[in-house]
Structure 1
């Protein structure tokens, strides 16, 4: 009985990775699927945003993280909302089965470069979901998250073409399609979704 009580108390004390109000869920950086759009047109980034939300089966579209989804009105999942609020937030089912907070941000490149759309799970939520994403090396890595985000990116590409996808911790803008020129690095500390003539190629992290 004592062991059962301790187990219940332990479960109750654990943070809920899906809770918006739990500030620990939003701590740290972001584990991302960062997509280079290939243009700066609002219509193109909107198409990708809609495709990401659908492929990941995100629940809701909310502006604020200081109140739970049921405590606020949803906002449209649009580029206009991203412009107004900076980020859009929701909840998503992780590959481990945990429901978690998630978010999305657009990084507009201006006239001289492509836009990026970043779909992310904050580090804190991964910690609270019990997903290991650091093993002492000087970067974050989770094969489980990599493969899941790659599957989302592949589903997105089936609906909306993009220039490049990169997967890992804080990866947005770390390279671009022009730099890669259609070739994957042989040693990869992050994952790549690289469009080729025969379709989208996933190069998993291997270094």
Structure 2
């Protein structure tokens, strides 16, 4: 059986992604860079690479920068889950237009999560894990301390599913995903509860 931290094993990247999606709050590269750097550090990602067809020891690292994101599309690394398993992870950016902000999306593929033994709610039509939700929310909290952002969302393929203007400063009462919403300089976490 392959290891969930192997870049070359396509089954690690299979299916979809479990994500921490961050609405940066602008389209300014300097602000995006601050959030990216803080996020990579908060998640304690091992390495920063541009190719998943080579294992980390077979390729040179790339800088953890907006320029590298633009060049490679995704920045890749390995991260240790709360259960101690090392898995592949990645980060990508969705650039906003003139009237919206950029989104930074940190993800762990569900193929790697399943191999790592993460238990998820099998009665849902999507992957959900309270353990991974809380872990990603903790990463967001640490990131926010170093580089404040407008909104965070946690869950299965959640990046861009809402935005801070839609939230109108209030966490939804019923939540299919986790929300991280700043209020007066404090980031509040509303875990998924449905």
TM range (shorter): over 0.9
Give 3-state SS (helix, strand or coil) of 2:165's partner: helix
The CA distance in 2 between the partners of 1:16 and 1:161, in whole Å, is: 35
The CA distance in 1 between the partners of 2:13 and 2:143, in whole Å, is: 25
The CA distance in 1 between the partners of 2:71 and 2:121, in whole Å, is: 34
The CA distance in 2 between the partners of 1:196 and 1:32, in whole Å, is: 22
| Deviation of 1:132 (Å) | 2.2
Q: Identify unmatched segments of 5+ residues in structure 1.
A: 1-13
What does residue 191 of structure 1 align with?
178
Give 3-state SS (helix, strand or coil) of 2:31's partner: helix
| Deviation of 1:169 (Å) | 0.4
The CA distance in 2 between the partners of 1:198 and 1:79, in whole Å, is: 25
What does residue 79 of structure 2 align with?
92
* Pairwise CA RMSD: 0.9
Structure 1 residues 137-152: aligned runs within 5 Å = 137-152=124-139
- Which deviations, in whole Å up to 9, do the C-alpha atoms of 1:101-147 show, x marking residues without a partner? 00000000121211000000001100110112341312221000000
The CA distance in 1 between the partners of 2:33 and 2:174, in whole Å, is: 33
Structure 1 residues 1-207: aligned runs within 5 Å = 14-197=1-184, 199-207=186-194
| Deviation of 1:25 (Å) | 0.4
- Tell which structure's C-alpha radius of gyration is larger: 1
| 107-116 or 144-153, which deviates more | 107-116
Q: Identify unmatched segments of 5+ residues in structure 2.
A: none
| Deviation of 1:44 (Å) | 0.7
Give 3-state SS (helix, strand or coil) of 2:182's partner: strand
TM-score, normalization by structure 2: 0.98
The CA distance in 1 between the partners of 2:134 and 2:115, in whole Å, is: 20
Q: Return closer, same or farther for 1:43/1:133 CA change in 2, 3 Å cut-off.
A: same
- Which structure is higher in helix share? 1
TM-score, normalization by structure 1: 0.92
